[in-house]
Amino acid sequence: MTHPGGRKPPPSGYDAELRRHGEVLRRACRVGPRDRFLDIGCGAGTTTREAARAAREGEALGVDVSAHAIERARALARAEGLGNVAFEQADAQVHPFPEEHFDLVISRFGTMFFADPVAAFANIGRALRPAGRLVMMVWQPHERNEWELAIRRALGEPSPADEGGPDAFSLGDPEAVREILGAAGFADVAFTGVEEPVYYGPDVPAALDWVCSFTSTARLLERLDPGAAARAMERLRETLAAHLDDDGVRFGSRAWIVTARRP
């Protein structure tokens, strides 16, 4: 799982950042007690384990390209005594999942970085039984996300540049996503807007460390000379301070819950 800024973050920080988004996704998934489900880009497995507890008579498989995240996910599942969940290091774009096996595929910001999204979603769709559901959360376009705009402005980059890296907003356009999923064999594609804050830490120093761990932040800073980088960091610090309240440093965000089914 790659973070919206293009990084592979420590699991605890990423889960804290997206806690409210996870709650929305959990409600949207409506996991049944006997469901067999697949979690794409599961990271350290928080969303997988939560859904596995609901599918107490079913089974769960979480996949992620990060070996470290999968090791962590397995350790946490063992510690929680979850016997109906497994984790595999795998690229969901090409992994040979069992065909027509799962009732449900879920993902929390784990599907935006596919090199060939039609082929990737077709591969995932083949793993769903007929009438099986896809429920994924993706970011809306960058201009609707305060966290993206504020960080870029603070660093002197008011709009996304062609950085050649992962595009966190690649599935933000509903019309384009309908075309992708339709070409991949899905039907009944629908979108529900989500407006929840992202959480960057309890105070400004913690939030600054967190934002500086984003690959996109590092790339922007690398373009600057030392003096300009120092000034950009100070602007970033001020931006984070302006978003500090009693609950910590938070920014507005907008995402989609995208649902579809295999015919």
d(CA 149, CA 154): 9
pLDDT tens-digit map of 127-144: 999 999 999 999 999 999
Residue 82: give the domain boundaries: 11-143+161-200+253-261
Count: domains in the chain: 1
Assess if residue 109 is contained within a domain.
Answer: yes
- 């062609």: which residue's tokens? 162
Assess if residue 242 is contained within a domain.
Answer: no
- Over range 178-193, report the average pLDDT: 98
What pLDDT band is residue 157 in, cutting at 50, 70 and 90?
confident
Residue 183's pLDDT is: 98
pLDDT tens-digit map of 17-43: 999 999 999 999 999 999 999 999 999
Mean pLDDT, the chain, rounded, equals 92
Percent of the chain with pLDDT over 90: 84
pLDDT tens-digit map of 201-235: 999 999 999 999 888 888 888 888 999 999 999 99
pLDDT tens-digit map of 42-87: 999 999 999 999 999 999 999 999 999 999 999 999 999 999 999 9
- 């793993």: which residue's tokens? 127
Query: Mean pLDDT lowest for which of 1-5, 198-202, 230-234, 249-253?
Result: 1-5
CA distances 181 to 192, 203, 236, Å, are: 16, 40, 38
Residue 11's pLDDT is: 35
Assess if residue 225 is contained within a domain.
Answer: no
Residue 218's pLDDT is: 87
CB 172 within 8 A of CB 138: yes
Domain CATH code at residue 189 = 3.40.50.150
Assess if residue 230 is contained within a domain.
Answer: no
User: What's the pTM value of the predicted model, to 2 decimals?
Assistant: 0.90
Strands 254-261, 128-139: pairing kind = antiparallel
Confidence check: pLDDT of 163 > 90: no
Amino acid at the residue 263: P
- Over range 186-191, report the average pLDDT: 98
Residues written for the chain: 263
Residue 82's pLDDT is: 96
Alpha helix (H) residue ranges in the chain: 11-17, 19-29, 46-54, 67-79, 117-126, 146-154, 174-183, 204-212, 215-222, 226-242
Confidence check: pLDDT of 8 > 70: no
Residue 215's pLDDT is: 82
Assess if residue 220 is contained within a domain.
Answer: no
